[in-house]
């Protein structure tokens, strides 16, 4: 199976088998880094960030270098994009210099516009709609820790945001059950839930939406949360914290309702004291640093699959 030259905009664009092949590649590269140290030799990658990033940016830069390629990283505003050059014209120009574009954007449609205007692969490094690199990397983390997907339940507690969207698709593709607890009005987008339900018919995963965090975490193997105030939502911060707190905060008490060996995951950055307490994120059930590390392993598997 070859994924060479493909865009990576949403997990929904790939079959479960294709996504598995990326995880397998990530594991293979991790074990044999020397053997893969030249797969991107002579290749250049434009990393464009319209929003801040620590994990995604650094893990992609390191991954590209470890595979022999060269990353070129830019803030949106320092390119002519910041002065109004169109996304399409930028894409047509960049493909004359580089072999792939990795972009973090405000609006998902910007990624579609980039992809429409270039033949080189475009990778979604987070958009308002989804964060596929994060969720696929989370599948790698879960697989490494639990050794399987079947029979596992992931409980999402918090905002029905971009990360939640990608986890819905990932779980429904890989056959994990997923229960999403959000306050009313903060549910994941209907179109995403519909896609996940379609996928679930093939994989057998069960998908539940609720407004009750305790219900969601019942018998869960994984409790996952993310900020209540995503990038770009800062103006809504006061209102959001009022809606989400205290009920949707992940506390040690909430873990009483989950399985004994339930782990805690968070894509990071965390707002300690908001969506999660220090006690949970720094506690024995938390796997967040291992999870962050796996971003690097997944990025390598992804790059080797799409562009190696
Ligand atoms: N999880 C994640 O994407 O982190 P950054 O915003 O630091 O890239
Ligand atoms: N939902 C968060 C994820 C950050 C990695 C945001 O979009 O800001």
CB 8 within 8 A of CB 121: yes
User: By CB neighbour count within 10 A (0-12 exposed, 13-18 middle, 19+ buried), where does 14 fall?
Assistant: buried
Helix (H, G, I), strand (E, B) or coil at 284: coil
Q: Which residue has the tokens 């830019």?
A: 74
Mean pLDDT, rounded, for 272-291: 98
CA 255, 259, 265, 266 torsion-angle sign: negative
Query: What's the pLDDT tens digit per position in 77-105?
Result: 999 999 999 999 999 999 999 999 999 99
Percent residues over pLDDT 70 in the chain: 100
- H-helix segments, 35-161: 55-66, 87-94, 108-116, 132-146
- β pairing state of 70-75 and 122-124: unpaired
Taking the CA of 295 as reference, the closest ligand is 1
What pTM value is reported for the model?
0.98
Q: How far is the centre of ligand 1, averaged over its atoms, from the C-alpha of 204 (Å)?
A: 30
Long-range CB pairs of 142-145, under 8 A, 24+ apart, other chains included:
142/176, 142/222, 143/23, 144/290, 144/294, 145/263, 145/287, 145/290
Query: What's the pLDDT tens digit per position in 145-156?
Result: 999 999 999 999
What φ, ψ does residue 22 adopt, rounded to 5°?
-70, -40
Query: What's the pLDDT tens digit per position in 245-263?
Result: 999 999 999 999 999 999 9
Average pLDDT along the chain: 98
Ligand 1 within 6 A of CB of 25? no
Closest among 79, 147, 101 to 307, alpha carbons compared: 101
Q: How far is the centre of ligand 1, averaged over its atoms, from the C-alpha of 132 (Å)?
A: 12
Beta-ladder partners of 210: 181
Closest among 54, 46, 55 to 76, alpha carbons compared: 46
pLDDT at 162: 98
pLDDT at 286: 98
1 pLDDT higher than 90: no
Task: Enumerate residues lining ligand 2, CB below 6 A.
Answer: 126, 161-163, 226-227, 230-231, 267
308 pLDDT higher than 90: no
Probe target for ligand 1 pocket from 53, 59, 61, 275, with the most ligand atoms within 8 Å of CB: 53
Query: What's the pLDDT tens digit per position in 6-30?
Result: 999 999 999 999 999 999 999 999 9
Query: What's the pLDDT tens digit per position in 113-122?
Result: 999 999 999 9
Q: From the alpha carbon of 56, which atom of ligand 2 is closest?
A: 5
């Amino acid at each position: 199976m070859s994924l060479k030259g493909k865009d990576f905009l949403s997990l929904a664009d790939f079959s479960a088998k294709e996504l598995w092949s990326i995880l397998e590649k990530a594991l293979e590269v991790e074990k044999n880094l020397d053997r893969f140290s030249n797969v991107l030799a002579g290749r250049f990658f434009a990393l464009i960030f319209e929003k801040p990033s620590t994990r995604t940016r650094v893990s992609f830069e390191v991954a590209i270098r470890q595979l022999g390629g060269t990353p070129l990283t830019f803030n949106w505003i320092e390119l002519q994009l910041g002065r109004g050059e169109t996304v399409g014209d930028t894409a047509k120009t960049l493909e004359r210099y580089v072999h792939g574009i990795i972009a973090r954007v405000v609006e998902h449609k910007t990624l579609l516009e980039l992809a429409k205007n270039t033949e080189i692969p475009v990778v979604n490094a987070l958009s308002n709609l989804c964060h596929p690199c994060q969720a696929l990397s989370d599948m790698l983390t879960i697989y490494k820790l639990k050794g399987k997907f079947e029979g596992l339940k992931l409980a999402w507690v918090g905002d029905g945001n971009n990360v939640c969207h990608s986890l819905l698709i990932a779980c429904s593709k890989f056959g994990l059950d997923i229960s999403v607890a959000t306050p009313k009005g903060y549910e994941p987008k209907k179109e995403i839930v519909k896609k996940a339900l379609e996928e679930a018919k093939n994989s057998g995963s069960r998908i539940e939406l609720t407004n009750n965090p305790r219900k969601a975490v019942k018998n869960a193997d994984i409790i996952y949360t993310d900020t209540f105030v995503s990038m770009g939502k800062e103006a809504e911060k006061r209102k959001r914290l009022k809606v989400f707190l205290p009920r949707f905060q992940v506390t040690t008490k909430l873990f009483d309702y989950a399985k004994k060996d339930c782990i805690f995951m968070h894509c990071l950055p965390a707002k300690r004291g908001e969506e999660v307490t220090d006690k949970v994120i720094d506690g024995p059930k938390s796997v967040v640093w291992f999870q962050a590390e796996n971003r690097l392993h997944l990025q390598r598997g992804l790059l080797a699959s799409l562009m190696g």
